[in-house]
Amino acid sequence: MGILIPFIGTSAGALSVLLMKKEPKPSLQNFLLGFSAGVMIAASVWSLLLPSIEMSEQFGRFAWLPAAVGFLFGIFFLLFLDNVIPHLHLDQQSPEGPRSNLQRVTMLVLAVTLHNIPEGMAVGVLFASALQGSAQTSFAAAYVLSLGIALQNIPEGAIISLPLRAEGLPLSKSVIYGILSGIVEPVAAVITLLLTNVVVSILPYLLAFAAGAMIYVVVEELIPESQTGPHSNVSTIGVAIGFVIMMILDVALG
């Protein structure tokens, strides 16, 4: 049930489009994108990188090594996916990745789906760590991460469904595609859980791997997209609020 929480957040955001008469102002979208970036940065540090380092205390002075290696592998894994999967970001006209005959709407959904993979992995690896009885993580921490990602998935679900509606898709299809863009999260979480249960010794690497993948999404997609339109500090405020909320949730409840 825990790994379904982020998907519920995406679905709620997509369904909220049914209540909206028009697309939200660019400033609000930029704030929400910044908020999502702040949540993901805080989750990467408190929920993933710090537990990874704590699990590696037996390395002594080199306790940072698994976190550093896993983090870099996570960055390069998302970079690889970014280059082999055709997709289109909301603020761009030209698609990224290999040339494809896919429709514009399909590539918009693929962009968000690609973005959601590391979030599912992060939730899966933290629940796997809790299942293994790790002293550094707990089920409370895993649920806090799921909740935090679900909170930032709510605006994301709306942000993907509204442009699909603007592309000319019927309202029902826009909502369905928005919901389906989040289905990859529980799938990625289950795959990560299965992998971690097989190879317990690589847990510190997997935690850092998920952190690296999430940071890649923040730097490559969320922050640039939050800076579109006239210059404004609203996205920076969103980052600060998202970061602080996720940090408080993790420290107080996790």
What's the pLDDT score for residue 25? 78
**Angstrom distance (rounded) from CA 189 to CA 194:** 9
End-to-end CA distance of the chain: 17
Q: What is the pLDDT of residue 102?
A: 67
Give the per-residue pLDDT at 239: 93
Cβ atoms < 10 Å from Cβ of 154 = 21
pLDDT for position 128: 83
Which pLDDT belongs to residue 199? 63
| pLDDT value for 212 | 93
Calculate the CA dihedral of residues 205, 210, 212, 216 and round it to 10 degrees: 160
Give residue 16's identity as a one-letter amino acid code. S
Residue 87's DSSP bridge partners are 96
Contact 184, 195 (CB under 8 A): no
**Spatial distance between the Cα atoms of 208 and 219, rounded to a whole number of angstroms:** 16
pLDDT at residue 240, rounded to an integer: 95
What is the rounded CA–CA span in Å between residue 250 and residue 248? 5
Q: Are 112 and 225 in contact (CB under 8 A)?
A: no
- Secondary-structure percent of the chain, ordered helix, strand, coil, rounded to 5: 80, 0, 20
pLDDT along the chain (254 residues), means of 10: 89 83 75 89 90 85 90 92 75 69 71 80 84 74 87 79 75 84 87 75 86 90 81 87 90 75
Q: Distances in Å between the alpha carbon of 56 and those of 44, 103, 254?
A: 17, 46, 20
CA–CA separation, 114 and 10 (whole Å): 14
Rounded Cα distance between 51 and 60, Å, is 15
Q: What is the pLDDT of residue 217?
A: 87
Say what the pTM is: 0.82
Residues in the chain: 254
